[in-house]
A = this chain, B = another copy of it.
Amino acid sequence: MTGTAQPGPVRLTAELAEFASGLSWDQIPESARHAARRTFVNVVGLAVDACRHDAVEIAVATLGDLGLRGRSSVLGRPDTLTAAWAAFVNGMAMHVEDFDDTHLRTVIHPGSPVVPAALAVAELTNASGRDLLTAVTAGVEVACRVGNALGPGHFDRGWHLTGTMGHLGAAVAAGRLLGLDANRMRHAVSLAATQAAGTTEQLGTMSKSMHPGKAAADGVEAALLAAAGFTGPDAPLEGRRGLAALLAPEPDLAEATRGLGRAWEIEANAFKPYSCGIVSHPVIDAAIELRDILSGPEVIESVDVVVRPVVLQVMGVEEPEDGLRSKFSVYHCFAVGFLDGGAGPAQYSDARARDESVIALRRKVRASTEPTMPKDACEVTVRTTGGTTHRVSVAHATGSVDRPMSDERLRAKFDLLVRPRLGDRAAALWHTAWHIDECDGIANLFGLSRW
């Protein structure tokens, strides 16, 4: 074994399963409930917006050909699919614009795998909105806590945690809504753990958004199989050949249960103001700030961006040829932030990626890395054609833990995404989603979402 798990709780999977199956709404403090509502409403808006994205259309058409039409709802669309495949499509739609929530410590986007799994099973079982949100909370906790335990080496090896850890969170959320006891929940986690996958080589392609989709679908199936008596090993996470040993060079398993049930990882779930890889958000903040200082792109001679190394690892595409690739170009991010004053889905369209003014400006951007640069920070220096220099330092990007998106800004983001699709019904959908824990069921949510 090259990656041997460090000593940790010997009953890790069992302990997480007991927590997840035993969790009740009453045990969740208001701060975590609020975070769960924010997590939920954000991905609902995203799914409604992106439910007719090319990648989603191909998936729905293919699944239809495969005979996978069923009775489970897809947000935004009239199509109904089987439960696992409705979860797949919703997960893809929530993630495809790279605009979903982020657990910053691990860079997991937990909403996109966990929420669709919960929605699909809640619909199957006629669960209440409160049960749904309890399941989402349990799933996000497990995904993020195991992510914490695997440590940064898991991402550094090249894994996309939204796929790997998303599998665990989706199975837990689905399992809770099926009422699995701790023993069957452990098996559900086992079945999900051995399907945990997703490589970061997929960034910038349609297949990246398959990761949360497949995590959601596999999680639903894992929970249903476990409910029917299908079994796996006792220690799928902590065992000698379990997930921690295979996926991370230096796991610290104790991290997964530290403060379990008292401290809530979901409260550290952050929300993006910009629909691209989160590590370039400080640069977009800087670009928007510079937009107010400089008269226009024509006065810019050069832009020097200093970021931490991961930014160029993930976002180093210099000449993105299409919209999906442009989400992984810190150069493009600066250009649209400066030119458009924002960075939503419209800024990462194929047209914008190929626009001459965008190309001209992004070619003026040079990026260098500084290992000591803090996580949410960057430094941008612009030299103008007139010979002046402007330096902007961003200490904490908008949407970071230290500078979170307010509820109002989250609502504005929801409106930006949903109003063009639903018009005035956007307000009703927001209201239903934001108050989902007061709803008897979730049918109304799907009904309101369709366009």
Contact = CB atoms under 8 A, between A and B. Distances in A.
Contacts of A240: 158, 201
Interface in A172-218: 190-191, 193-207, 210-211, 214, 218
A372 to B, nearest CB: 21
Nearest to A198: B194
Contact of A249 (B2, B195, B196): B2
A128 interface: no
Contacts of A202: 190, 194, 232-233, 236
Contact of A207 (B3, B67, B190, B210): B190
A246 interface: yes
B194 A233 contact: no
A67 B71 contact: yes
A210 B191 contact: yes
A363 interface: no
B2 A156 contact: yes
The number of chain A residues touching the other chain, given as a range, is 35 or more
A425 to B, nearest CB: 29
Given A205-B233, A207-B190, A207-B232, A59 B225 contact: yes
Nearest to A249: B2
Given A59-B230, A156-B1, A202-B232, A210 B197 contact: no
Contacts of A242: 158, 199, 201
Contacts of A228: 58, 61-62, 65
B224 A194 contact: no
Given A82-B68, A201-B236, A225-B62, A246 B157 contact: yes
Given A2-B249, A190-B202, A202-B194, A84 B61 contact: no
Given A1-B156, A67-B71, 14 more contacts: A1-B158, A55-B230, A58-B230, A62-B230, A66-B82, A158-B246, A159-B246, A194-B198, A194-B207, A199-B242, A199-B246, A201-B235, A202-B236, A205-B232
Interface of A: 1-3, 55, 58-59, 61-62, 65-68, 70-71, 82-84, 153, 156-160, 163, 190-191, 193-207, 210-211, 214, 218, 221, 224-225, 227-233, 235-236, 239-243, 245-246, 249
24 contacts: A1-B156, A1-B158, A55-B230, A58-B228, A59-B230, A62-B224, A62-B225, A62-B227, A62-B230, A66-B83, A67-B70, A68-B82, A158-B245, A158-B246, A160-B194, A190-B205, A193-B199, A194-B207, A195-B195, A195-B197, A201-B236, A201-B241, A203-B233, A207-B230
